[in-house]
Structure 1
Amino acid sequence: MRTFGDRVRHALLFEAVALAIFIPGSAAVFGHPVEQMGFIGIASATLATLWNFVFNVGFDRAMRRLRGSVHKTLAIRVTHTLLFEAGLVVMLIPLIAWYLGIGLWQALLMDLAIVVFYLVYGFLFNLAYDRIFPIAAAAPAALNTGRPL
């Protein structure tokens, strides 16, 4: 299971890279000023960072309890990403509608477009993160007993 420090690093890296892509990209795509999309991006990233930490800790605990391991197969990684994004959408739609002065329906459509970006980004980021920062494998029993392999 990942450590507290590793989860903090994961969440911060995830959001920093995402903001560098999201703010200028969303301003261009949605036609809102960079400042407005910057606020949406930073507010969303703050909420997403907190959600990311809480969700990932809970997901890993559930996996360990239900499967005895935190190893994520491709299917589990897809499920993980979809569940994370669904929770975030529910939290972000009212914020987007309020700040941009648009209706909930417009905010939902905007958020769905953002979700598509984050689904692809989140999947690729997490695959890369798992490869760059792998979970340490348990030491073989012979190493724990002091006996030669």
Structure 2
Amino acid sequence: MRTIRDRVRHALMFEIVGLAIFTPGSAILLGQPVEHMGVIGIVSATTATLWNFIYNMIFDRILLRWKGTVEKNIMTRLVHTGLFEAGLVTLLIPFIAWYLGISLQEAIVIDLGIVIFYLFYAFSFNFLYDWVFPIALQAKPRMA
């Protein structure tokens, strides 16, 4: 299992790199002012950081009970990413609609673009993070 310190590093790195890519890219693609997308990005990143910390801890605990390990194959990573994004969308759509002064339906369309970006980003980031910062293998307890 990852330590709290490692989880904090992961969450902060994930959001900082994501925000650096998201803000200018979304402003261009969505035709919104950079300042507006910056606010959307910062609120989204803050929400996502907290959600990321909580979600990953819960996911790993469930995975450890279910499979006996926290190692993730491709299918597990796809499920992990999809469930993370589904929770985040539920948290962010009302804010996006309110802040941009648009309908919930329009916010869903904008958020769909954000989700597509972050699905690919999250998969890539987490794969690389696990490669750069592997989980130390724990010795199995011996039976006496």
Alpha-carbon shift at residue 140 of structure 1 (Å): 7.9
Q: Which runs of 4+ in 1 moved over 2 A?
A: 138-141
The question of 1:89 aligning with 2:117 is answered: no
The question of 1:73 aligning with 2:73 is answered: yes
Superposed counterparts of 1:125-136, under 5 Å: 125-136=125-136
What CA RMSD, in Å, does the superposition of the two structures yield over aligned residues? Answer: 1.3
**Please, what TM-score do these two structures have when normalized by structure 2?**
0.95
Distance in 2, Cα, partners of 1:74 & 1:30: 31
Superposed counterparts of 1:42-53, under 5 Å: 42-53=42-53
Residues 88-116 of structure 1: per-residue CA shift (max 9 Å, x gap): 00111000000000000000000001100
Superposed counterparts of 1:91-130, under 5 Å: 91-130=91-130
Residues 1-35 of structure 1: per-residue CA shift (max 9 Å, x gap): 00000000000000000000000001111111111
Aligned amino acid, residue 96 of structure 1: I
Higher relative contact order (CA 8 A, sep 6+): 2
Larger radius of gyration, structure 1 or 2? 1
Aligned amino acid, residue 108 of structure 1: I
> What residue number does 1:13 align with?
13
**Please, what TM-score do these two structures have when normalized by structure 1?**
0.92
